[in-house]
Amino acid sequence: MADNPYFCAVSAIIIAIDGYSSCGKSTLAKALAAQLNYGYVDSGAMYRAVTLYFLENKVNFSKSKAVQVALTNIRIHFELNKTSNRNETWLNGRMVEDLIRSKAVSDYVSPVATLVDVRREMVDLQRLAGKNRGIVMDGRDIGTHVFPDAELKIFMTADPEVRALRRFRELLSKGESWNMEAVRENLRERDRIDSTRAENPLRQATDARVLDNSHLSESEQLDLAYRWAQEAILSKKASN
Ligand code: CDP
């Protein structure tokens, strides 16, 4: 961030990108962060890392005491792999970027993400990551709960069948053996749990800009979001 001559802390903003499963939020968030020279946080990866820890350590997540104890043993951080230029998730000193995308984790992450203790802990970490602004964060409750004062909120959506096909192709390319119906079912079920949970459910913030990318290419969606970001940065500069 600091080596970018255009990065100005005074006008640095928070960009919150929320939306349904597999809408391409992370793809857009990463590209937008790179273009603005901002930090990027994949909040979903944090819930996935917690889920991986619970599964590997057989934490009974219906017991709040067990969850609270487990949370004290979890350390999550992100590192940019300079060789692959990939932002990777680390759990307790181990790189888990691929493991957290496995079917087992995808099946359990939304139930885990309903747990109040888990959410409070993750939200604290997310707020810490955004305390100096200059960040793009994607998730489900970033614009509504984590950063209700984000200068730009984007709510992403896409046709469910388009989303399922994109995720199916992504999993295939990684050698994961899912069939299309299992992918559809996973997305449906996660969207249902995420939208109906008691604690900070997935909702479109009233001041969010909606981006339906069913028929947009990656570069088209980036152009649109980058334009919105420039507007938000200029308007923040003007109000300073
Ligand atoms: O990539 P995809 O959209 O499929 O999901 P993700 O961003 O990796 O998030 C995985 C799961 O974490 C979601 O289905 C939610 O259950 C949960 N999550 C959440 O509850 N709150 C967030 N801010 C981000 C993710």
| CA distances, 150 to each of 11, 16, 17, 79, 191 (Å) | 12, 6, 10, 24, 23
Is residue 3 over pLDDT 70? no
pLDDT of residue 217: 94
pLDDT, mean over the chain: 93
Atom of ligand 1 nearest to the CA of 47: 12
The CATH number of 14-231 is: 3.40.50.300
Nearest residue (CA) to ligand 1, atom 6: 44
Q: What does the domain layout of the chain look like in residue ranges?
A: 14-231
pTM, 2 dp: 0.93
Distance, CA 223 to ligand 1 centroid (Å)?
24
Atom of ligand 1 nearest to the CA of 19: 3
Nearest residue (CA) to ligand 1, atom 12: 44
| CA distances, 165 to each of 24, 36, 135, 171, 194 (Å) | 12, 29, 29, 10, 20
Which residue among 109, 137, 195 has the greatest number of ligand 1 atoms within 8 angstroms of its CB, and so is best to mutate? 109
For range 127-144, the mean pLDDT: 96
In which band, very low, low, confident or very high, does the pLDDT at 85 lie, cut at 50, 70 and 90? confident
Query: Where is pLDDT greater, at 3 or 148?
Result: 148
Is residue 1 over pLDDT 80? no
CB 1 within 8 A of CB 9: no
pLDDT of residue 240: 81
pLDDT of residue 8: 61
